[in-house]
Each structure stands twice: as C-alpha cells, then as structure tokens.
Structure 1
Amino acid sequence: MTLVTILAGAVFGIALAAPPGPMNAIIAEESVVRGWWPGFWAGLGAMLADVLFFALTLLGVVAVIDQYPTVRPVLYFAGGVLMLYFAAGAIAEAREATSFTDGGRADSMGFRKTFALSLTNPYQIGFWLTVGVGLLEPGTLDVFAHVPAVGDGLAGSLVVETGSPALVLGFFAGIAVWIVVYPAALVSAGRRVDALAPVIAALSAAVLAGFGLLFLAMGVVGVL
C-alpha cells in the first residue's frame, strides 16, 4: 500500500506540474536558450517554492493569508507585473536564439524567476490552502479531480488515502521527475531541429504575457 501511495502521489505531482503555464514557459525558455541544466534549475525554483509552501502549511501560516481579502489582489498585481517583465526578456531571447545550447550555465535567472513567480502566484497559494491541507489531513483525495482542464472527466478514477508521508513524498518525487525530464526532452528535440529554439522561446514569451495580463485583470476585479 505504501508503494501504491507513493506512485499515486508521483502521478499527482506530475499531473499538476505538466500542464502549460508560466512556470513551464520559463523552464522551456531556459532549456532552449541555455540548455538542460538551466532548465532544470528553473524547475527547481518552482519546486523549492512548493516545499516552502508545504512547510508553511504544516505550521498553519499559509491559512492566515486566506483571512485577509486584500492579499489576493496584491498577489495578482505583483505576479502579473513580474510575468510581463519576464515576457519582455523572453522576447529578447527569442530574437537572439539561433539554436539549442547546452553550456551548463548556472548563472541564468530561471531559478529566481520561477521562485519569485511561485511566491506571488495566487493559484499556487490557493492549492496549498485547499488541496495541500488535504494532503496532510487523514482522509481521501481524488487525485485527478484537481488537474487543470481534464479534472472533470477523470474525477473518481484515482482516489487515495491522505495524511500519509508516503503520499507527500510521492507528490514531490513526481514534480522532481517532471523538472528533470521536461528540459531533457526539449533539449533532445531541439538538437534535431535547431530552428525550434526561437519558436519555443517566443511561445514562452506569449504564455508569460498572456498569464501576466490575466493576473492583472484578476487583480483589478479583486479590487473592485
């Protein structure tokens, strides 16, 4: 049962980490412009933020945020501005990118980008206020019901017991697998078709800009 719980947690972690979004956009940009290591490093920034939120959830600190309605609009504004700023940088890199590289540079900004965005991402905070708390409390969790876009169709297909350290271990293991495999797949594909580098960098910029505008709009709605 422990192994099944760990595997279920890993599936949950991968399912939540894999859908397109600002974090994967930055990981993709770092991977195609600088190589596997910077792409992995960017993913590690987002994962570290989740570890921090997990620790704060254990301490009950994250729940305090939900008691102050003004916090969420501020987070939306901060996250939106950061995404638009990073999108501008991604556009510049898309213009300069001519091929995939693997220089192993650890001096990229990817780690700081994903970590900063994660700390100001209301969706990520909302996850730990709801599902994250559920991971820690004894009970059951419908794993696929919380996956973006496909949750309604897959609800009920994998239900596991919560409150187990094995589930949390599997959850973070799944995220770790994603941030290792995703950059590797991009770099591997890119070496076969170098022309994809500027295209993927440009798509990353578009995703960041789209989410940035969405977050700003939600911040305005929250204030009104």
Structure 2
Amino acid sequence: MDEVIGVHGLVVLLQGIVLGIAIAAPVGPIGLLCIRRTLQHGPLMGFFTGFGAAVADTIYGAIAAFGVSAALDFLQGHEIAFQLVGGIFLIVVAIRTFRQKPEDEEREAASAPDTPSFLGGFMTGLSLTLTNPATIMAFIAIFAGFGLGGNLGRVDASTLVAGVFIGASLWWLALSMGVAAVRHRISDRGLTRLNHCTGVALAAFGLWALGMAFTGMAGWAMG
C-alpha cells in the first residue's frame, strides 16, 4: 500500500514538473528579459529574473490546485487593473531596455561590482507574472483539462504545486545556463540589437495588455 502511495505521489510530482515547464517555457516578456539579462549580466541575473516568475507561477498554481475561490474571485474581479499595471510596467521596462547600451551597463557594473541587483531581477519577474491574469487562467484550464484542481486532496495538491515550482525553476536555470554558454559569441553590436528587439517586443506585450484592459473596460461599460 505504501509503495502504491509512493508511486502515486511521484506521478503527481512529475505532472507538476511538466506543468511548470509548460507554463514557463513559451517565449514571453520574462523569457526575453531572462535572455537579455543573462547575456549582459551573467546567468545568475537571468536566473533570478526567471526565478521570480517561477515563484509567481507557484502562487497561481497553488490557488488553482487548492481551488481557493476567494482568491480566484478577487483576481477575476480585478483583471482589468492587473492588466493596466502590468501593461504600464512592461512599457517602462521596454523603454529602458531599448535605450540601454552595453557600455552603459558595463559602467554600472563597474561602479557596483559587489552588489548585482539580483533582488531587482527577482522582483521584476515576480511582479510581471503576478500582474498577468492569463497565468492563473492557464493553470485553471490545464488543471481542468487533466482532471486536476480543487478536487485534489491536500497532499496531492501540495505535491503538484511543488512540482510546478521545480519544473518552472529548472526551465529558467536551463535557459539562463544555455544562453550564457553562447555569450562569448555575441558582440556589443549584437547586444545593442538585442536590446532594441527586446524593447520593441516588450512594448508590444505591454500595448497588448493595455489594449485588452481598455477593451475589457469598454465591454464592461457597455454591459
């Protein structure tokens, strides 16, 4: 019996790991920031940016797994506000990214070599993911599709959430280490182009979020 329970727990954990990777892997704002920061500040900075997103994914995964209706109602009721905040934040990050030059960042690093802003990277990943209502909706949809969610017992729900955290964290670790491995092949001109492309892409994500928010507000007003 104990052996069956152990196998079941391992299966649930593996399901969580796969779900964590599936949620984290699609290229979006956090992925772009992780790649850029890894290239310009090293793999630790890139990982901490992604790790913030992994923590946010875990929070939303826990809400979906435990079926916390009060939290779900709050998130759905304030979806427009989250989209507005997230969209504005993305555009601010986009402008800063687009204008940043490799030599500027080298001067910043030289002026504070012992205090890399890992916390800043973590908070960026955390806040951008928490202000994206699509994350919790993705968890709800995936959990429902696999017959998971509020009907899970506490042990299974906790195991599933732990798997989500492990899977998401492993993805960001693999991405940052993989990008760091090719860092030496990219010139300053390449980094500048990356900044420009990343800035434009982040701005597009931000404008999309704002557009969704204003569309939602218009629909709410007409309703």
Greater percentage in helix: 2
Q: TM-score, normalised by structure 2?
A: 0.75
| Partner residue in 1 for 2:50 | 43
Decide whether the 8 Å contact of 1:32 with 1:200 is kept in 2: no
Give the partner amino acid of 1:41.
F
| Partner residue in 2 for 1:180 | 173
Are 2:149 and 1:136 aligned? yes
Cα pair distance change 1:81/1:96, threshold 3 Å: farther
Q: TM-score, normalised by structure 1?
A: 0.74
Give the superposition deviation at 1:222.
0.4
CA deviation map 1:6-54 (0-9, x unaligned)? 3333222212211110111121221111111111111111112223334
Decide whether the 8 Å contact of 1:14 with 1:175 is kept in 2: yes
Secondary structure of the 1:19 match is coil
Aligned residues: 198
Are 2:122 and 1:111 aligned? yes
2:36 corresponds, among 3, 6, 29, to: 29
RMSD, aligned α-carbons: 3.0
Name the CA distance, whole Å, in 2 between partners of 1:89 and 1:167: 37
| Partner residue in 2 for 1:202 | 196
Decide whether the 8 Å contact of 1:9 with 1:168 is kept in 2: yes
| Partner residue in 2 for 1:158 | none
Name the CA distance, whole Å, in 1 between partners of 2:148 and 2:30: 22
| Partner residue in 2 for 1:212 | 206
Cα pair distance change 1:92/1:121, threshold 3 Å: same
Secondary structure of the 1:171 match is helix
Alignment of 1:146-157 (within 5 A): none
Secondary structure of the 1:115 match is helix
Name the CA distance, whole Å, in 1 between partners of 2:201 and 2:60: 24
| Partner residue in 2 for 1:121 | 132
Give the superposition deviation at 1:55.
4.4
Identity %: 26
Structure index of larger Rg: 2
Give the superposition deviation at 1:110.
1.7
Cα pair distance change 1:128/1:209, threshold 3 Å: same
Cα pair distance change 1:78/1:119, threshold 3 Å: same
Cα pair distance change 1:67/1:174, threshold 3 Å: closer
Name the CA distance, whole Å, in 2 between partners of 1:50 and 1:118: 7
Give the superposition deviation at 1:72.
1.8
Could you list the runs of 5+ residues in structure 2 that have no partner in the other structure? Answer: 1-6, 219-223
| Partner residue in 2 for 1:64 | 73
